[in-house]
Amino acid sequence: MLNNRTYIICLAFILGFSSCKKFLQESPNGLITNTNFYQTDDDAITAVNAVYSAMRPDMALGLPGIYLTEMISDDGTMSPTATQVGERLELENMIYSSQHGIIKTVWTNAYVAINRANTVLKYVFDSSKIRPAIVRRVRGEACFLRAFNYFRLVQLYGDVPLVLTPSEIGVSNLSPSRAPVKTVYDNIISDLEYAEQNLSDYYNYNDAKNGGRATAAAAKALLGKVYLTMAGYPLNDISKYQLAADKLNELIVNKSSYNLDLNTSYSKIFSAVTATKAADNERIFYSRGTSGMAPDYQAFTRMKSTYLQFKYAVPSKDFLPYTTSSSVGQYFPISGGTELSSIEVDDAITSSIPIGFSFNFGGVLYDSFYMSSNGFISFKNRSAAAPNISSATDPIVGPLMDNLNGTGGTASYLLSGTAPNRVLTIEWADWRWKTGSIVANNISFQVQLYEDGRIQFNYSSSTPAVNSAASAIGVRYPNSYLAFKNTNTTGGFNWVASNSGYSSTVNKFQYDNGDSTTQLTIAQNLRSVYEISDARRTYTTDFLGTVINKYSDAVNAGYNDNADDFIWLRFSDVLLMYAEALMEIGGTSNLDIALATINSIRKAHGGTAIQDLTYTTQDDLRQKIRLERRRELAFEGHRWYDLKRWNIIVETIKANLSFQYNRPQSYYDFLNDNVKVLPIPYAELANNPNLTQNPGY
């Protein structure tokens, strides 16, 4: 080498260069190198900014992390109308392998953020050039973000490599082996403890330089979550329940100093309006939606396109309040029923008539009904007759809502069967279906109320057809309705269920052979997560399917512009975790506080229509808290972690898939304890000989 240099120096002499060394020096004019950085306050702050921005790819891609936690769990499923990218279907059907792209992306992104945090922690330390307050704050943020990412990793993958120094060739070990879950948690706790002591209590939402940074409140909330998780599966360290309760209680007791509180309106938490977001005190740690900015700055959240446009995830069947079906069958008229002659006229309604059993309609039990001559029954007194229910807000079941006339017809009802399979049949026989001033043909139809909550509409023949196309068929719950439309314009029926309108083009109920009838069945979904009047039901159902509209950003047009923030930690979560911890610790006073806590959330977010909960045993309360947690935090990326913590993930997923695809549970027996952790990405195993794979992958 010396020789080479000698020659080069000779050459330099020939060319008259004063120094060849200088000529061969690199000048990366457009780049910063780590030797001239980390010198000033701004350097330190921009370095930690880049840790936050490492979380951006997760957001920009429509939250790969959400796919994992929602699609694998029983909350989200794939829309049949969405682009069925194989990978998402693999998550949905639990057939992913270690080569799964999203599983790798989540792993990669977490470690990119961790490496950036490690870089900050290595280079930003007490020095004369950076103010001590900035050093502490920046280090606190880096610690929080490192803990945040390790917490995700350790839950998703189990034992993971614990890398705590920035990656530098020749300095650090690039091929780490996996650290036990417990060790990872210990580091998360120490990082969060540093963060909670050194970070600000809160920042204003609109603070241009700080709104959305990690705060002491965020560190405490995450620490509480970490303790709660450690108390559950797989560590089962139940001593942590008390630590969790205490840590979370620090936020609850001092909520005003952390600028925290329950938002009294559930929907406002997910608003895209800046002022509304600024007024929300639920937010503890969130990523900001950045609509309207240049694309390079943008796209922290793409939740709207994920949930609404592409329907990558939609609610599973668990969330549907009812299921509908139509069929062709025979019409069996009532014989021996109780006749209600008071409505065998035009525009009349009966007084209260007993059902004979308690009928669950929209989550409310009714014992009596009112029958109208205009083709519906109501569960509330409608003695002031209303021929059309479109203005009503009452619970109504309408097999044929039109301007009907009972003159000459027979109205009757009949209770049959034995408990718990009793059926109440209500019949309008030979009823006049008139159009305008013309008195037209007679029609017979029935409503059947089954004790299990099912409702069935049956129609007899009507010949010939009436001229009217205006009629309404459907049911109305207190704040939701379901209508049926016949989309066939020529003979026959093609019923679709819809909540977009009542009017239908039905003008007769007759098949060509004259005997058959069309039947519509509306079954209550007994697994349904929400009580029908729960205001947290943030999804909509129409005949194209059900979509999640929790992040629907009504402010910005289009799907890719999303001003909704994605909220990682919020106050209701803190309250729910607090309730869970207390409930698990047990003792009447703890259980009572836990119950009061979830009732406070129900009241604030579910609306006044829903009732306060009560409990009988600790396990009863446990189930109620878990259900309440699912209701409150649905589609926010918590469910998978919750199911794992409660150690009910395998049976829940099996049951969900079996329900989803209508297959026996045994079909999914290939799912076992192995699914409690994801596979270590294949590429990672290939590149790091010190890693081992999780069992089963």
Partner 1 sequence: MRFLFIYRKCLTVFVLLTITILTPCSTLLLAQNGALKVIGTVKDAKGVPITGASVKVKSQTKGVLTDSKGEFKLTVQNERAVIEISHVGFEMQTKEISKDRVFNITLIATATDMEDVIVVGYVTQKRKDFSTSIANVSTKNATEGGYSNFQQLIGGRAAGVMVSETSSEPGGGINIEVRGAGSLSFSTQPLYVIDGIPFEPPNLNLTSNTNVGAVVGNNVANPLSTINPTDIESMEILKDAAATAVYGSRGANGVILITTKKGKVGKTRVNIGFNQAYVTPQRFEKMLNAKDYAVFADEAWKYRQYVGTYTSATLVPFAESEIDSLKTYDHQKELLRVAQSTDANVSISGGSPMSKYYLSGQYFYQPGIIPNTSLNRYSCKFNYEATLSPKLIMTANISVNNTERNGNATSTLIGKAKSWAPNSPFINPDGTFNHLSTYLYGYGNGYYNDSIYGSIYYNPRFPISTILASNGTTNSNNPLIYTSSRGVKNINSSTQILANVSLSYSISNALKLTGTMALTQFNSILQTYIPISIVPTFGTQKGDASVGNSQNRSALYQLNLSYRKSIRLHSISLAAVASAEKYTSETQSVGSSGFTSDITSFYSIQSGAVPGVPKATYSAFQLVSSVLQGVYSYNGKYILNASGRFDGTSKFSGNNKYGFFPSAGLAWKIDKEKWFKIDKSIISELKLRTSFGIVGNQGISPYSTMSTLSSTYMVYGNSTANIGYYPTVLANPALKWERTQSFNGGVDASILRDKIFITIDAYSRLTKDLLVNVTPPLTSGFTSYTANLATMRNEGVEFSIEAKVIDGKKFRVTVGGNIAFNRNLVEKLTGAAGEYYNPSEGAIGTGGYITRIEPGKPVGQFYGYNAIGIWNDSTIKTKATTFMPSAKEGDRRYADLNKDNLLSDADRTYIGSALPKYFGGFNLSVSYLSFDLSSFFSYSVGSQIFNTYQISYGTMSGSSNIRKDIFDKRYRVIYPDTDPKLIDAIRANNQTTKVSVAGSTLEAREATDYYIESGTFLRCRDVTIGYKLPNKLLKKAGISSMKAYINLQNLFMVTNYTGLNPEVSSRGGLVRGVDDGSAPLSRGLRVGFNANF
Interface of this chain with partner 1, residues 649 to 688, rule: CB under 8 A: 661-662, 669-670, 681-684, 686-688
Mapping DSSP to helix (H, G, I), strand (E, B) and coil, where does residue 46 land? Answer: helix
Residues 293-332 that bind partner 1 (CB under 8 A): 293-298, 300
**Of the candidate residues 61, 108, 317, 593, the single one contacting partner 1 (CB under 8 A):** 108
DSSP state, residue 372: B
Question: For the residues of 124-156, what is the DSSP string, one character each?
Answer: -SS-SSS-HHHHHHHHHHHHHHHHHHHHHHHHH
Q: Residue 483 corresponds to which tokens in the numbers above?
A: 């209508």
Which range, of 104-112, 340-348, 384-392, 467-475, touches partner 1 by CB under 8 A?
104-112
For residues 381 and 352, is the Cβ–Cβ distance under 8 A? yes
Mapping DSSP to helix (H, G, I), strand (E, B) and coil, where does residue 345 land? Answer: coil
Residues 163-182 that bind partner 1 (CB under 8 A): 163, 166-170, 174-176
Residues 597-656 that bind partner 1 (CB under 8 A): none
How many angstroms separate the CA atoms of 333 and 343, rounded?
Answer: 18
Choose between 42 and 619: whose C-beta lies nearer to partner 1: 42
Residues 63-82 that bind partner 1 (CB under 8 A): 80-82
**Of the candidate residues 496, 585, 609, 613, the single one contacting partner 1 (CB under 8 A):** 496
Q: Whats the size of the chain, residue-wise? A: 697
Residue with tokens 């947690």: 629
CB of 291 to partner 1, least distance (A): 8
For residues 48 and 214, is the Cβ–Cβ distance under 8 A? no
Q: Residue 467 corresponds to which tokens in the numbers above?
A: 């001229």
Letters for 353-382 (x = contact with partner 1 by CB under 8 A, - = none) are ------------------------------
Residues 518-547 that bind partner 1 (CB under 8 A): 543-545
Regarding 208 and contact with partner 1 (CB under 8 A), the answer is: yes
**Residue-wise burial string across 228-258, b where 16 or more C-beta atoms lie within 10 A, e elsewhere:** bbbbbebeeeeebbebbbebbbbbbeebeeb
Choose between 299 and 424: whose C-beta lies nearer to partner 1: 299
Phi, psi of 606 (to 5 degrees): -85, -20
Q: Residue 690 corresponds to which tokens in the numbers above?
A: 């010190």
Residues 258-297 that bind partner 1 (CB under 8 A): 274, 288, 290, 292-297
**Of the candidate residues 69, 73, 98, 458, the single one contacting partner 1 (CB under 8 A):** 98
CB of 443 to partner 1, least distance (A): 26
CB of 552 to partner 1, least distance (A): 15
Choose between 206 and 236: whose C-beta lies nearer to partner 1: 206
Closest CA to 634 of 59, 66, 55: 66
For residues 406 and 343, is the Cβ–Cβ distance under 8 A? yes
How many angstroms separate the CA atoms of 675 and 529, rounded?
Answer: 24
How many angstroms separate the CA atoms of 277 and 272, rounded?
Answer: 7
How many angstroms separate the CA atoms of 543 and 687, rounded?
Answer: 48
Which range, of 162-170, 220-228, 255-263, 439-447, touches partner 1 by CB under 8 A?
162-170
Which range, of 126-134, 210-218, 332-340, 605-613, touches partner 1 by CB under 8 A?
210-218
For residues 466 and 431, is the Cβ–Cβ distance under 8 A? no
**Of the candidate residues 34, 190, 197, 467, the single one contacting partner 1 (CB under 8 A):** 34
**Of the candidate residues 64, 65, 68, 111, the single one contacting partner 1 (CB under 8 A):** 111
Residues 114-143 that bind partner 1 (CB under 8 A): 114-116, 118-119
CB of 102 to partner 1, least distance (A): 8
Choose between 31 and 419: whose C-beta lies nearer to partner 1: 31
How many angstroms separate the CA atoms of 588 and 592, rounded?
Answer: 6
Phi, psi of 643 (to 5 degrees): -60, -35
Closest CA to 44 of 109, 171, 110, 136: 136
Choose between 205 and 258: whose C-beta lies nearer to partner 1: 205
Choose between 274 and 360: whose C-beta lies nearer to partner 1: 274
**Of the candidate residues 164, 187, 189, 212, the single one contacting partner 1 (CB under 8 A):** 212
**Of the candidate residues 197, 338, 487, 665, the single one contacting partner 1 (CB under 8 A):** 487
**Of the candidate residues 20, 392, 470, 609, the single one contacting partner 1 (CB under 8 A):** 20
Which range, of 92-100, 261-269, 413-421, 604-612, touches partner 1 by CB under 8 A?
92-100
**Of the candidate residues 41, 61, 193, 203, the single one contacting partner 1 (CB under 8 A):** 203
Phi, psi of 661 (to 5 degrees): -105, 5
Torsion angle (degrees, nearest 10) of CA 385, 389, 393, 394: 60
For residues 602 and 612, is the Cβ–Cβ distance under 8 A? yes
Which range, of 23-31, 183-191, 221-229, 634-642, touches partner 1 by CB under 8 A?
23-31
Q: Which residues contact 653 (CB under 8 A, 6 or more apart)?
A: 72, 73, 74, 94, 643, 668, 671, 675
**Of the candidate residues 24, 133, 328, 438, the single one contacting partner 1 (CB under 8 A):** 24
Choose between 275 and 438: whose C-beta lies nearer to partner 1: 275
How many angstroms separate the CA atoms of 402 and 305, rounded?
Answer: 40
CB of 16 to partner 1, least distance (A): 4
Which range, of 15-23, 372-380, 450-458, 514-522, touches partner 1 by CB under 8 A?
15-23
Choose between 115 and 599: whose C-beta lies nearer to partner 1: 115
Residues 555-594 that bind partner 1 (CB under 8 A): 556-558, 560-561
From first CA to last CA, the distance across the chain in angstroms is 51
**Of the candidate residues 41, 93, 345, 600, the single one contacting partner 1 (CB under 8 A):** 93
Letters for 418-447 (x = contact with partner 1 by CB under 8 A, - = none) are ------------------------------
Choose between 348 and 569: whose C-beta lies nearer to partner 1: 569
Q: Which residues contact 13 (CB under 8 A, 6 or more apart)?
A: none
Which range, of 1-9, 137-145, 368-376, 422-430, touches partner 1 by CB under 8 A?
1-9
The H or E element spanning position 377 is strand 377-378
Q: Which residues contact 200 (CB under 8 A, 6 or more apart)?
A: 137, 210, 213, 215, 216
Question: For the residues of 577-619, what is the DSSP string, one character each?
Answer: HHHHHHHHH--HHHHHHHHHHHHHHIIIII-TTSPPP--SSHH
Residue with tokens 């059947």: 448
Choose between 81 and 463: whose C-beta lies nearer to partner 1: 81
CB of 667 to partner 1, least distance (A): 9
CB of 198 to partner 1, least distance (A): 19
Mapping DSSP to helix (H, G, I), strand (E, B) and coil, where does residue 657 land? Answer: helix
Which range, of 206-214, 219-227, 517-525, 631-639, touches partner 1 by CB under 8 A?
206-214
Closest CA to 193 of 161, 164, 226, 163: 226
**Of the candidate residues 75, 91, 104, 456, the single one contacting partner 1 (CB under 8 A):** 104
Which range, of 109-117, 187-195, 373-381, 390-398, touches partner 1 by CB under 8 A?
109-117
Site size toward partner 1 (CB under 8 A) is 127
Q: Residue 321 corresponds to which tokens in the numbers above?
A: 């309040």
Regarding 85 and contact with partner 1 (CB under 8 A), the answer is: yes
Regarding 474 and contact with partner 1 (CB under 8 A), the answer is: no
